Structure 1
């Protein structure tokens, strides 16, 4: 057998296998560390399977895959999905990468410190220059670390959901390096913008979230073969949320400078990477 792709979700892989089966292409699913591996039995079917695999990455919700599952799918798959809790955890891990998961964990640890009696020392350590002291010129980490701080459950939930969903897409389908660039650039430059807009008292991953949103949206339009995209309705929601922040519509304190700066970083990197790849 010859492998033609890997997917983090076994159930989604089964839909693709069922569709290939309807086209006369015999293939198998095998569990691997990242999820499942898909292989064809006959070498002459490899090219067709690879082409359909790329299409599946771009359009996993295509009705033809669901229809094939109803028409040709079977219930004798030998994969062990385990308990629902383990399946959910596996999906969470395999849909992301080391950078995505590390930042996710760091944000939770910092948020936990804020809510377990360590708010003042944590803020003093991670806040932007001038927010908690005067002699901080050598503490260069402060240009980035406000990105890890969140001040409410809604704040961290919103940011981490988008970070896992979009950052995970970028890292697992394009690679860790593009995501690392987005993280470092969008986690620093927008902080400088926010400082000049409103001062040093701010925090959150929002600037980076807007960067990965902009990047994913551009790549989906200009380089669909990369296998990532952001539906226009999702991008529209992000833009509406950004605009509302400038009008203080919900009575929330939003880092508007960081949002706008992060979106600009993501769009620019998206245009650059879609040109080179």
Structure 2
């Protein structure tokens, strides 16, 4: 079922109350910004007509109104296929991640990993020898600045990062658009990789987790400055993610020999995300 534009309103129009009402009614929807307007989308023309009627009666959301006075018949939660169609960039990043995971054998194919790692390396016997980032840039290997986010070591590493990117990526793509999500993903990948390289020097690291902390920080600060339903994270998510970051920084996992964790990448991504959330939230707040 193709998405249908229900409303096209100036960006200064506050839709948060009406969006909250749609969420209460479990109406599938998304909001994007196009050509200076915010556009509300729903799947199907029949549902679009009902939502238009609902908006004509409750443009501010009217949270005190009884649900039975404003129920949209037939509204259901969107299925996985519908969500995938509505968030193509999120799916594209995840698909590319899965392809790289297959090619690199989840971290076992070092001949493939060396082309995607932040710095090149070679293995001789029991030793690994790293080049420097400067050597890679001088050789024109600029892709190394962002491709570490595609490398994962083990199925659990891939599964956890993919699930969180699906959750956070869809929120940003539905509210700010695919180009914004792409730009933020690349910026956070760069920031997290540079932070990790600056902290640990030439080493082998990878994964989407630095990007995820960037997306988390972006949603967190943006929501604080310009509240919107899309960036309203479930209770406890922020606390859990920050607590996990602090636990990882204690070094307990290295002590238990569970493997090294790129803590600097997580911190770098989080700081970058807070900065973009600050800029985006202030800009959106000013427009309102």
TM over 0.5: yes
From 253, 257, 260, the equivalent of 2:260 is 253
**Taking structure 1 as reference, are residues 120 and 90 closer, same or farther at Cα in structure 2, changes over 3 Å only?**
same
**Cα offset, 1:92, TM superposition:** 4.1
**1:100–1:167: 8 Å Cα contact kept in structure 2?**
yes
1:175 matched to which residue of 2? 177
CA distance in structure 2 between the partners assigned to 1:16 and 1:51 by the alignment: 17
Superposed counterparts of 1:84-163, under 5 Å: 88-94=79-85, 97-115=87-105, 119-132=109-122, 134=131, 136=136, 137-163=139-165
From 253, 257, 263, the equivalent of 2:270 is 263
Once the two structures are superposed, residues 101-140 of structure 1 have per-residue CA deviations (whole angstroms, 9 ceiling, x without a partner) of 1111111111111228982332022111233464633211
2:67 matched to which residue of 1? 68
| SS of 2:265 mapped into structure 1 | helix
**Taking structure 1 as reference, are residues 274 and 116 closer, same or farther at Cα in structure 2, changes over 3 Å only?**
closer
CA distance in structure 1 between the partners assigned to 2:153 and 2:147 by the alignment: 14
**2:87–2:178: 8 Å Cα contact kept in structure 1?**
yes
CA distance in structure 2 between the partners assigned to 1:142 and 1:259 by the alignment: 18
**Cα offset, 1:80, TM superposition:** 10
CA distance in structure 1 between the partners assigned to 2:43 and 2:282 by the alignment: 35
2:224 matched to which residue of 1? 221
**2:97–2:151: 8 Å Cα contact kept in structure 1?**
yes
Q: Which has the higher helix share?
A: 1
Q: Give unmatched runs, 5+ long, in structure 2.
A: 9-21, 28-40, 123-129
**Taking structure 1 as reference, are residues 161 and 40 closer, same or farther at Cα in structure 2, changes over 3 Å only?**
closer
| SS of 2:60 mapped into structure 1 | helix
Aligned length: 237
**2:192–2:266: 8 Å Cα contact kept in structure 1?**
yes
Superposed counterparts of 1:183-222, under 5 Å: 183-198=185-200, 199-222=202-225
Once the two structures are superposed, residues 159-195 of structure 1 have per-residue CA deviations (whole angstroms, 9 ceiling, x without a partner) of 1111111111011112223322211111112201111
Once the two structures are superposed, residues 136-155 of structure 1 have per-residue CA deviations (whole angstroms, 9 ceiling, x without a partner) of 33211011101111011111
**Taking structure 1 as reference, are residues 219 and 119 closer, same or farther at Cα in structure 2, changes over 3 Å only?**
same
CA distance in structure 2 between the partners assigned to 1:176 and 1:13 by the alignment: 22
1:39 matched to which residue of 2? 50
**Cα offset, 1:232, TM superposition:** 5.2
CA distance in structure 2 between the partners assigned to 1:114 and 1:221 by the alignment: 40
Once the two structures are superposed, residues 34-65 of structure 1 have per-residue CA deviations (whole angstroms, 9 ceiling, x without a partner) of x96353575xx644444329x8xxxxxxxx89
**1:219–1:226: 8 Å Cα contact kept in structure 2?**
no
CA distance in structure 1 between the partners assigned to 2:218 and 2:152 by the alignment: 23
